[in-house]
Amino acid sequence: MSTRNKLQKFAEVLSYPNVFENFNAKDKILVGKNGAEVDYSNGWGDLFFNNSNPIVLELACGRGEYSLELARRYPHKNFIGVDIKGARIWQGATFALNEKLENIAFLRTRIERISDFFLRGEIDEIWITFPDPFLRKSKSNRRLTSPNFINHYRNILKQDGVINLKTDSPQLYEYSLETIASDKKCKILYTKDDIYKDELDFPDLDIKTYYEKMHLEDSRKIKYLRFLINSQNE
């Protein structure tokens, strides 16, 4: 993508009513449409979505394909796609506006800041869809299932809130299994190292992102992990 196209998208997305951005890592300020500061620290449900429906996050959402399709399927749930790359968010947010989907928003911030923008226990479910696996051992703390990130999610997820991971990376999949097994508060609910080998066990696994389609064309196996991080079964 050319620099000009990126700049155009950054400018456009600033006018969108469904996109919120945190520009400064040193503060918790969010800006929305036309750069206006917004404060949803008392809950996105009441203050943005105007309802008390469950809230689902998609982390590293990219173009937001998963959040968009989930929002279409579940109009009585709210969805927020989170990513740091504004040009990607532009695409998902544009689709949402064109389709008049009122149960989806996008948050542009670093995922390690996620607990700054939600109440404790506000989130019902998290999807992590094809994140960068950061294969170098020196960058393992940047993996979205590392202990540091798990603790951030623990601050915002409900007691029985579920985390879903879809990945094509064997290394990230095995790392995630080991991380969860070593955390006494975590509990694995389901795991499969090749979801398309048999009939899908969960209906929403059939949603395919841009990256998943690429991985399938390369004959990669898609792996899925479903787990709790606030389990009472220690």
Contact 228, 186 (CB under 8 A): yes
The yes-or-no answer on residue 132 being catalytic is yes
Buried b (16+ CB within 10 A) or exposed e, 187-204: beeeebeebeeeeeeeee
Determine which one of 132, 194, 201, 206 is catalytic.
Answer: 132
Catalytic residues: 132
